[in-house]
Every structure is written in C-alpha cells, then in structure tokens.
Amino acid sequence: MTTSAPPLPDPELRGRTTVADRAVERLAAAAAAEVDLATGSARRVLGLPVSDPDRPRVTARVHGDEATVEVDLAVAWPAPVGQVARRVRARVAEQLADLAGLRAVRVDVRVTALPAQRAPERPRVR
Amino acid sequence: MSGPAALAPATRTPGAVRANRVVLAVLGLLLLAGGVLVLLLGLGVLGAARADLAVLPPGAAVPGWTWPVVGAAGVLVAALSAWWLVVQSRTDRLARLRLEDADGGRTVLEGAALTRALEEQVEAVPGVARASAHLSGTSAAPRLHLRVRLTGRADPAQVHRTVTGEVLAQARAALEVDRLPTRVELDLPRGTGRTLA
C-alpha cells in the first residue's frame, strides 16, 4: 500500500498490438495464398519438412496504422519469381488496407522453394 | 578459359586466391632472407668472430622490452594466421539472390530454392542419375554450375541438349533474365565410357 509500484507500460496498448500483429499475419498469409503460383513452403529442419506447406508464413509488425510484413513463400517452378512476388506484395497491401485499414509500408518477400507443379503432361510409365 | 583448366571447380573467390599468393610470396621471401642471412653468418662472410658467437651469450642482459615485443609479434602472427584461415572458407557461392529492392519491400530468392528445383528438373531427364547445382557470381549477374552424373544408358549429347535447352530455359524464365551463364559438367559412370565418335 505504501510502496509505489514502478510505472508499467500501458498494458492495454501492448496487448492490443500483439493481437494486431497476429491478425495481420493471418490476413497477409491468406492474401498471399490467393496469388496464382504462390504457395506456402514447409519449414525445413535438416532438410525434412516440419510444418504445413499450404500457406505462406508471415511475420508482421504493426505501428499505429502502418504495417511491415515479411512473407516466406514458395513459387511454382518455372513461374517468374519476381512477377509473382510483386503480385503478392500488391495483394497483401490491398487486403491489409481493405480489411484492417492498415498501410503496408513494406512487404518483404522471401522465396524459399520453387516446387515443380504436379505436371500431368509428363505421364509416368506404367 | 577453355581446356581442362576450365573444368577445375571455381569455388574460391578471386580475393582468397590473391590473398594466398601474397601471403605465400611474403612468407617465401622472409624465409629466404632469413636462410641467406644465417648461411652468410655461418660461413663467416660477416666476420669470422660472429660465426662462432652464441645466439644469446650466457649472462647477456636482455633489454626489458624484448619479451613484450616477442609476445606482441606472436599475437600478430597468430592473428594473421587466423585471418588467412578464414579467407580459405570464403567461396563465391551465392546464398541468396536479391531480385528486387525497392521502397515497398524487397524480394529475395534463396539460392538453395533455385538449386534444389534445378537438381530435381535435371534428375528427371532420362539418363541422369544425380545432379548437383550451385550458384556463384552476384545477384545482378548470377552464374550457375551444374554437375550431372549420367547413368550411361542415354546419349550424353541428348542429355546435354535437354539440360541446356529445356531446364536452363526454365531457369531463365523463373529468374526473368535473358542470359544465365552456366557450366555443365557431365560425369559418365566408370566402365561404361564409350567413344563419342
């Protein structure tokens, strides 16, 4: 009662930021997955996939109404990687603006795999 | 570069090669100078009395700064040796390709993603047992090295045509570049070598 507690950072603000980061990450991952030829890439440990490869992995930071986003994804071989990345960047920025009212100041794209599409035009010999 | 020398794996950076040349030249000159000096001393060219002199006469007073200087020189030699060792591990392999670096964000392609995709594509070519790829150069001007081990059951010329024609065309499309300088090495398995006449 008599001791004065040290001034805590505003807990409400901190809590809200964490949730917003995660929410933005999910929004951005969904937006990136909508782009043609862009898929997720499984995280690899010692060369073995250990995570769900369906969705791009996203980390995001929100400052006020601005977001910086990093997207890890795979691009289907042999699609032009730079073009797909540009479309992902545009789509993520668009979705964040529409759905969260955030301005994506920076969307970094890291392409971690170029998986070959399951090509039906190359039939296996029976 | 052509001929067999061109087939030597070019993985060390020009910087490392230059460092090796300079360090070996300096070491050689130092050792040569030391050897010549000791030889001249021993033969008595610099005075007969000096030839028989002990290196450190017993009881001779050594100036106080000698041992700190020897210690510092040792540390310097150790540091230079460590630097030389680290330089050896420097290769010109390219870990990632920066495809775009704009205000809105950058695009990076992991080198392993590209080489893994290429290896898969090349290994799908009939007559190929194994393939390994690596990248060198810079993001703006990447170079590709492909090593292809053949099964020996397909015409190497045909494999070469498929690899350079189809697979490398896909790589150029993926990177959106007009040219991707590539060195392809075809390894024929032992014992099945045949004359390519």
- The C-alpha atoms of residue B124 and residue B26 are separated, in whole angstroms, by 50
In chain A the domains, ranked by start, together with CATH numbers, are 36-113 (3.30.300)
- The C-alpha atoms of residue B8 and residue A120 are separated, in whole angstroms, by 39
- Cβ neighbours for A46, distance < 8 A, ≥ 6 positions apart: none
A59 CB near a chain B CB, below 8 Å?
no
- What pLDDT, on a 0 to 100 scale, did the predictor assign at position B53? 77
Name the burial class of residue B191, with classes exposed (0-12), middle (13-18) and buried (19+) by CB atoms within 10 angstroms of its CB: exposed
The residues that bridge with A77 in the sheet, in sequence order, are: A116
What angle, 0 to 180 degrees and rounded to 10, lies between the N-to-C axes of helices A11-34 and A81-95?
A: 130
Residue-by-residue pLDDT tens, chain A, 126 positions:
556 666 766 655 555 555 578 888 888 888 888 888 887 766 666 666 666 666 788 899 888 888 899 999 999 888 999 999 999 999 999 998 888 888 889 999 999 989 886 544 444 454
Would you say A114 and A74 are in contact if contact means Cβ atoms under 8 Å apart? yes
- The C-alpha atoms of residue A100 and residue B46 are separated, in whole angstroms, by 88
- What pLDDT, on a 0 to 100 scale, did the predictor assign at position B55? 75
- What pLDDT, on a 0 to 100 scale, did the predictor assign at position A16? 54
- Cβ neighbours for B41, distance < 8 A, ≥ 6 positions apart: B50, B51
A109 CB near a chain B CB, below 8 Å?
yes
pLDDT along chain B (197 residues), means of 10: 48 77 94 94 80 75 87 96 87 84 88 92 92 89 91 88 92 91 87 56
- The C-alpha atoms of residue A82 and residue B168 are separated, in whole angstroms, by 17
- What pLDDT, on a 0 to 100 scale, did the predictor assign at position A47? 61
- What pLDDT, on a 0 to 100 scale, did the predictor assign at position B17? 84
Q: Which of B105, B116, B176 sits opposite A83 (nearest CB)?
A: B176
Residue written as tokens 């090495």? B185
Could you tell me how many helices (H) and strands (E) chain B has, helices first?
Answer: 6, 5
Residue written as tokens 């010109």? B92
Which chain B residues touch A93 with a CB distance below 8 Å? Answer: 104
SS3 (DSSP) at A80 = coil
- Homologous superfamily, domain B96-187: Dihydrodipicolinate Reductase; domain 2 (3.30.360.10)
- What pLDDT, on a 0 to 100 scale, did the predictor assign at position B194? 57
* Numbered residues of chain B with Cβ closer than 8 Å to any chain A Cβ: 99-100, 103-110, 113-114, 116-117, 120-121, 124, 170-171, 173-176
Query: What does the domain layout of chain B look like in residue ranges?
Result: 4-88, 96-187
Dig out the tokens for A101 from the structure. 């009212």
